[in-house]
Structure 1
Amino acid sequence: MTDFNETTGTQAIERAVLLLTTVASRAQVGWRLTDLARYCDLSNSTTHRILGALSNMRLVKQREGDRRYVPGPMLYDLSLTLPAHFAFQAACHSHLVKLAADTNSSVFLALRSGDSYVLIDNVGSAYATLMSRRGTRRPLLAAATGNAMLVGMPAVLRDNILAANTKDIRLHEEHHLDGYMRMYRRSRRCGFGYHRNDVTSEVSAVSVTIAGTDGLPFAGVTAICSTKSMPAARVPEIVKRLRQEVTLITQQYGDLIAAML
């Protein structure tokens, strides 16, 4: 009986976290209950029950008007216990501004979050879409920044994340999988994240990582613009400039990085 309770208790926690992170992945659009249940492969009744508990704890809420589920205010309350993350985000902003000016691109900063990345800052509006807003959460395989992180990982960890990402993408956006894999193979060859018309036509992006104190990629800086503005001959110059700024970030904010891990 104890083993059964422990197993079901763990499953309940895993389901609650799955729903919470999925709600957070579309914070602007929100989720209808039926769509959320289908996406998470849960029954409507189970999804409704867990969302009710999360709502009571203010971790999610139903938006007035369309009654879609969106992140709740308790998430902000909890985030205040992580001041190093806010300090790192603020400290890096001026570096992103410089990079955007120097590379004539939009520039993003993202943190690794398990098998995914979370976008925490961006400069430039040319490519500011729903998928490039602060708080956007995506599988590592799905963008240049995530591919840069994958490239810098030990093989066993990388392969495990690839397997998890591929499974998730097959379930929810299989039509993009070939493009993601093409981007991944190019990134492996180049040694940095590199999207070139793979998923979004006429758009290119390159990304390099910021390493944590354990040597693993924990963040990524990405420059993105039209492919016309980023011909292949210009890519090494942009990557070099990104790496220069990442070196400065690592040197200047090493204590913050250590506090975040």
Structure 2
Amino acid sequence: MTHFLGAAHAQSSLGIGTNDGIAPTTGPFAHVLMWINLRQQEFYRALAGAMKAMREDGSKLWLLIGLSFAYGIFHAAGPGHGKAVISSYMVANEVALKRGIMLSFVSALLQALTAILVMMLAYFVLRGTAISMTDAAWFLEIMSYVFVTLFGAWLLWRKAGPAVLRLFGASPPYSLSAAHAGHSHAGHAHSVHAHSQHSHALRAHAGRDDDAHDHDHGTHNHHHGHGHGGHDHHHNAAGEVCETCGHSHAPDPALLSG
């Protein structure tokens, strides 16, 4: 276990409490990776020097802020999970470019503020010793892996969970979002039609002139009743779930209006 913890500390991505040795790099882009590694080490040393200078001279704070900002730009240019997540979200939801840029700025700002708050808390609680800060960095990394894994599992279950339940014969929980007013009958429709007012003026019926007459049909409705064979009407109360279709039927607005 001690060997495992030591290996984890040596692999700290934050460069806290670890030496600055360069791991051997191979492959077609070895020289590019080597150059990036060297620049990162230079930034680490510059940041460490700026922090020491700030303790002696408060005006060196701006130097530290400038170096941190430059390092943030340099780090953001490389690949990262944040850019992959935002890009995937934009592609999956067809988000406009303007909104995607805004999401990038907001996520970067929240990430920076979170990192500052966490490291300030760790510094004041642990008094900033190299070993304790390394332990804190390792712990935070492990916890971040756990939270990302749990969040990913939750998102996966939201999308695939109902299909898995149906596959094993279980029904997913009913949702009230499917509630609708009234009900439908498969195979036929209920319709009400009206005959507008019209008149018959001096027309011969069946060739008989003596039966000519005038008459008016006032506006009236024909309600055609019909029987429902093979199914029952069960009117559920508001909020109840229909046993037949699995939906919650809201009351008809016409009934509520009185």
Pairwise TM-score range, normalised by the shorter structure:
under 0.3
Instruction: Give the number of the structure whose residues are more often strand, by fraction.
Output: 1
The alignment's TM-score, normalised by the length of structure 2, stands at 0.20
